[in-house]
Amino acid sequence: MLNLRISPTARRTGHLIALIVVAVGTAPTVSLGDGQQFLFDPAQSVAPIAFNEQVPSGQAVVDQTMVEELFRRLEATEAEVAALRNQVVGKHEVFEPDCEQGCCDKPIEEPIIADAARYLIPLSTKCNCGDITWKPGFRIQTRYAYDEFEDNHDFFVRRFRMKAGGSLFGLATYGTELKIDSTSRFGSIPGAVVENAWLQFPFSVIDHETYLRVGLYDAPFSRNALTSDSKLLFMDRTLVKFGLTALGVVDNVVGVLVHGRPYDGKVEYAFGVFDNVFFERFGPVFQVDTDHVQPMGRIVFNLLDPAKPGGYADYQESYVGQGHRLAVGANASHLRDIETPADGFDITAWGVDVFYNSGRWVFGAEYDWFLRDRDSGLADSEGDGWYVQGGYILSCCLELALRHQELDVSDLVGDDRIKQTSIGMNYYIRKHNLKIQSDYNFKDEEGINFIDNDSFQLQLQVDF
């Protein structure tokens, strides 16, 4: 046997002795220096398996100074490592994995690192660095529509959405959405399209949280366009939104966005640059291309209730009698050097909007202007549109809604202004998650007033 004698102050070195035991391949008797001894068996474990009353005579003794010297060198090495880590100028509170205290949530003093740098820290294999969460959802809008012009009765699924969202290791959030529109609608050929696919990372700027969003999502232009079609006052968006989308200004786009809601949600901003794929299409019939990104931005002042922290594109056109809000917003966008085989042009657009709700009342209005600035000698084209709408809660679940809107696609074409007045009724079973909507639309196109093309719609929605 090999006898190891250790003082009480060095008892914490038992694990190191076990290494020596394994290396030597013998079963030593260990004396703790206070008369206690025990026997190790390396073939079984490093735990004591038997006690002896005394050390047999003639056994070799390893002095405790050997182990204490090993620990002295270990402590010196740890001090050198700590000194090297503190050579960087400046200190900052960051997060470092700690298996005993929980991962990525223990503030310590470390060299200054940008907030975003913590996303580059690799995941530890020894502790839990956060979870990936996944929350599924879907939306179904089943609609009946009667079109006076076609004299057609139509049942179809106006919108179907499969969506999911959640968080990634506590560092980022994400959102995905797949859409199939107008299934079984007369004259429609539905197809699956990715509507949303984005990641969002938070970081601090001065005294508020700012968010960096990358991927595919709603462009920061127009309150009506930024409101989910599940939370509209009427079933469909406004004419001016459709006009902007047809021009290629507003819709879901791919890019990078910075947004935030400072001053406790009294102000909100969203600015980004985008690759507008609407102007990157090639085919035998239609070709258009641009090599430039599209800058776009929006700012909003919330004069009554503040906006929800961290939100983006989370507006509602009816809050079903909840809250007191007055929000004034403005947005602008520009895209240059758009080329087609016959023309080249720039597109500029700006708009303003206002929203108010208090108790049973809700009100919204918006004006947008857009310019197609040609560089081929052809005349420039201007257009604009606006709407005003309001609603009133008649009872706990029933809401009356009115809207008037106009759109002039181009000032180069006479008698092309479209006017539409709508009256609607909404029945909220579970707010916007489960509701019934109906509306009747009086349409008036300049130059073709003789056409009867009013419409009636009725829709059941489930959304979560």
Q: Give dist(CA 338, CA 343) in Å, integer.
A: 8
**pLDDT at position 186:** 82
Domain boundary among 129, 158, 191: 129
| Mean pLDDT computed over 419-435 | 96
What are the strands, taking DSSP E only, across 99-134? 102-110
Same domain, 435 and 399: yes
- For residue 125, pLDDT over 60 is answered with no
Same domain, 66 and 113: no
- For residue 100, pLDDT over 50 is answered with no
Same domain, 425 and 457: yes
- For residue 23, pLDDT over 80 is answered with no
**pLDDT at position 121:** 56
- For residue 355, pLDDT over 80 is answered with yes
Three-state SS string over 291-309 comes to CCCEEEEEEEEECCCCCCC
Same domain, 315 and 253: yes
pTM: 0.72
- For residue 133, pLDDT over 80 is answered with yes
- Of 326, 395, 390, 321, which is closest to residue 360 (Cα–Cα)? 321
Neighbours of 422 (CB within 10 A): 23
| Mean pLDDT computed over 382-396 | 95
Task: Supply the range of the domain harboring residue 97.
Answer: 88-129
- Residue appearing with tokens 């601090």: 204
Which range, of 20-24, 183-187, 304-308, 339-343, averages the lowest pLDDT?
20-24
**pLDDT at position 449:** 55
Domain boundary among 103, 129, 155: 129
**pLDDT at position 51:** 36
Same domain, 21 and 112: no
**pLDDT at position 279:** 81
Q: Give dist(CA 34, CA 52) in Å, integer.
A: 13
**Between these two residues, 229 and 104, which has the higher pLDDT value?**
229
Same domain, 261 and 315: yes
**pLDDT at position 414:** 74
**pLDDT at position 339:** 85
- Of 54, 63, 72, which is closest to residue 5 (Cα–Cα)? 63
- The answer to whether the beta carbons of residues 130 and 171 sit under 8 Å apart is yes
Same domain, 207 and 117: no
Residue 246 sits in a domain whose CATH number is 2.40.160.10
- The answer to whether the beta carbons of residues 412 and 379 sit under 8 Å apart is yes
Phi, psi dihedrals of residue 123, rounded to the nearest 5°: -70, 140
**Domain tally, the chain:** 3
- The answer to whether the beta carbons of residues 236 and 181 sit under 8 Å apart is no
Same domain, 235 and 110: no
- For residue 114, pLDDT over 60 is answered with no
Query: Both tokens of residue 293?
Result: 């990104």
Q: Give dist(CA 442, CA 456) in Å, integer.
A: 9
- Residue appearing with tokens 């181009």: 410
Same domain, 415 and 330: yes
Same domain, 92 and 58: no
**pLDDT at position 112:** 40
**Between these two residues, 30 and 229, which has the higher pLDDT value?**
229
User: How sure is the predictor about 453, in pLDDT bands with cuts at 50, 70 and 90?
Assistant: confident
169: left (phi over 0), alpha (psi -120 to 50) or beta: left
Same domain, 345 and 430: yes
| Mean pLDDT computed over 266-295 | 86
**Between these two residues, 310 and 72, which has the higher pLDDT value?**
310
Q: Which residues contact 20 (CB under 8 A, 6 or more apart)?
A: 4
Same domain, 187 and 119: no
